[in-house]
Structure 1
């Protein structure tokens, strides 16, 4: 039962898996720029709110079909009664407090939201409320 482990074979397999996962990640990064996160693999909408890209309801499972062609910014299609109230709530929820060294809460808070976009295989992220540009 004490078979010898071929370290070169293990390294080849690890490198192959790394390439496979790298390809999956590259594809996901491109796809996430235009594919709605609520669209499932059957092109059905799983959103629990109204969207102008929702089509007829699929009789098999009760979900609307997703009519988004992937060429538009899907985020503008979401319908809410009061967009300003939703934005204010989102901003309030994304504020985080920074604990002080002594373990008490720091009265200063920072806004955790950023705006990111892909630029030639890399990401450029800018905080929505000023601050330095982050590049990955």
Structure 2
């Protein structure tokens, strides 16, 4: 059966690669945007994996899990960004994003 199929042409192969690249590019773009404000210690189950205290941690009764209650609107990058203009620009971008309701 498989021998009956024609091999894809170079153009077909490139078109498939382009489609896959496009899909992954969108995923990466979204992950980059989310990583700007989502705590790096918050896992996909909204549990905190940090080995230190945080005001957003909530201990679950009768469980070893520590929940993360962050609203994902914090901008922790300013803690190490020394360029004031860059900080101000990011704060403005975050403010405008929240008021417009967009989730680029």
Instruction: Give the TM-score, by structure 2 length.
Output: 0.63
2:23 equivalent to 1:20: yes
Report Cα offsets for 1:26-84 as digits up to 9, x if no partner: 10111011100110111000111111110122645x120000001123579xxxxxxxx
| Number of the residue aligned with 1:9 | 12
Q: Distance in 2 between matches of 1:71 and 1:4?
A: 49
How large is the RMSD of aligned CA atoms in angstroms? 3.0
| Number of the residue aligned with 2:54 | 51
2:74 to 42, 49, 72: 72
Post-superposition offset of 1:5: 3.6
Q: Greater strand share, 1 or 2?
A: 1
Greater than 3 Å deviation, 4+ residue runs: 113-117
In structure 1, list runs of 5 or more residues that go unmatched.
Answer: 77-112, 120-136
Aligned residues between the structures = 81
Q: Which has the higher contact order (CA 8 A, sep 6+)?
A: 2
Instruction: Give the TM-score, by structure 1 length.
Output: 0.49
